[in-house]
Structure 1
Amino acid sequence: MSDAENVLVAALRLSAKERAAVAAALIQSLDEPEQTTDDVEAAWDEEIQQRLADVDAGVVTPVPWPEARRRILAAAKGRREAP
């Protein structure tokens, strides 16, 4: 099992509050230093609006959480599951 898979398995054992804190720290570690919080929030707002528009237009089909979780966990184990 890779380091990333080990970390994911360990993280999934944490409480929801602890997982949220870990996720926030990981996301923050990816931010470029020159980006301001306002820039990041504006970019996420734009991304969210585009994704909602894609769903509304039928361009993409939402996936129920149980199925998405199954796919995510399978991918973390190196398997690709068909939709």
Structure 2
Amino acid sequence: MVDRSQTLESLTAQERIALIGRLWDSLDPAAAAPLSPALAAELDRREAEADADPDAGIPWTALRDELRARLR
């Protein structure tokens, strides 16, 4: 195997992030993150629940502020 550490180390942060994206996109989703039938059913249930009442959640900014307050 070729030592590519020198090549990787010469990449900028932006180039490394782009490479990570290309690698991620090249993965078969079913193989990269297989879902059990139980998990798939739970995700479907949560999606249906969110679709049925989209206003049930809280805005990200409110959640973020609440979490920051807890950390202080």
TM over 0.5: no
Find the structure with the greater CA-based Rg.
2
The normalised TM-score by structure 2 is 0.34
